[in-house]
């Protein structure tokens, strides 16, 4: 499986990948001029040691590339990992790359994330972020309908601006932004991917980005079962 659907219209697609668990072990052994041709128990013990002791550079020799289609509110949370990876001690990753579609150049029909009536969540009781329990159906129906009407109005104004010969990069100002789907390519090392997963699979992460993180994990772990298991176990 190379693509997993997420939310109402989103998805994560594995585009490409390079390396294996053996790549990690061999990268760590290069200073001893040694190399394995096939993953064995000694390699697995080495990977476990590297992850446990925080020797993370060998995990940066494995690269994954994904195509992601998600609401803007998810994309902007995700983007912090691209910026942070180049500076944060222990998670530095100069190979991180992000390319996102832009309505400066295309005028495809806007698509929006619209929670169903049973998906609206209350604010948390003891935190300034995150969410609480599901709101009752009556309130949920009202919120979904109001969001649909708001989106429809914005799209109408966007299309009217385009019809008035306004450039696409300004016409998009009329579109409701946070729920609008955007598409991007994310290329990152296995270390960076696991850092993202460790944080965005936490129970207090926003549910929508948790759902995308679960898809990333499902696509990635079969490719690097030992490395992913050990890199994520270090924060449990």
| H or E element at residue 226 | helix 225-233
Q: Are 224 and 63 in contact (CB under 8 A)?
A: no
Task: State how far the alpha carbon of 87 is from the alpha carbons of 90, 92, 96, in Å.
Answer: 9, 6, 12
Q: Where are the alpha helices (DSSP H) in 11-167?
A: 21-29, 41-53, 72-85, 137-163
SS3 (DSSP) at 182: strand
Residue with tokens 């400066």: 104
Verify whether residue 200 is a known catalytic residue. yes
Per the residue annotation, which of 13, 60, 103, 200 is the catalytic one?
200
Instruction: Identify the DSSP state of 173.
Output: G
Q: Which two tokens stand for residue 13?
A: 């697609």
Residue by residue, DSSP assigns 38-59 as S--HHHHHHHHHHHHHT--GGG
Residues identified as active-site: 200
């Amino acid at each position: 499986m190379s693509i997993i659907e997420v939310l109402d219209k989103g998805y994560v697609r594995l585009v490409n990948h390079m390396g294996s668990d053996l790549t990690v072990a061999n990268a760590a052994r290069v200073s001893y001029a040694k190399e394995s041709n096939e993953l064995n128990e000694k390699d697995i013990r080495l990977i476990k040691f590297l992850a446990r002791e925080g020797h993370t550079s060998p995990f940066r020799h494995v690269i994954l590339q994904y195509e992601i289609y998600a609401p803007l509110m998810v994309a902007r949370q995700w983007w912090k990992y691209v910026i942070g990876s180049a500076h944060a001690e222990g998670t530095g990753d100069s190979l991180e790359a992000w390319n996102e579609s832009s309505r400066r150049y295309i005028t495809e029909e806007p698509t929006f994330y619209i929670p169903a009536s049973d998906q609206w969540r209350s604010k948390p009781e003891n935190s300034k972020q995150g969410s609480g329990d599901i709101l009752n159906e009556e309130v949920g129906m009202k919120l979904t309908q109001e969001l649909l009407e708001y989106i429809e109005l914005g799209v109408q104004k966007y299309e009217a601006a385009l019809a008035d010969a306004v450039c696409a990069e300004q016409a998009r100002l009329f579109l409701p932004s946070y729920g609008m789907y955007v598409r991007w390519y994310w290329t990152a090392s296995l270390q960076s991917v696991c850092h993202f997963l460790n944080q965005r699979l936490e129970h207090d992460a926003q549910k929508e980005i948790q759902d995308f993180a679960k898809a990333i994990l499902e696509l990635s772990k079969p490719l690097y079962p030992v490395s992913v298991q050990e890199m994520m176990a270090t924060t449990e």
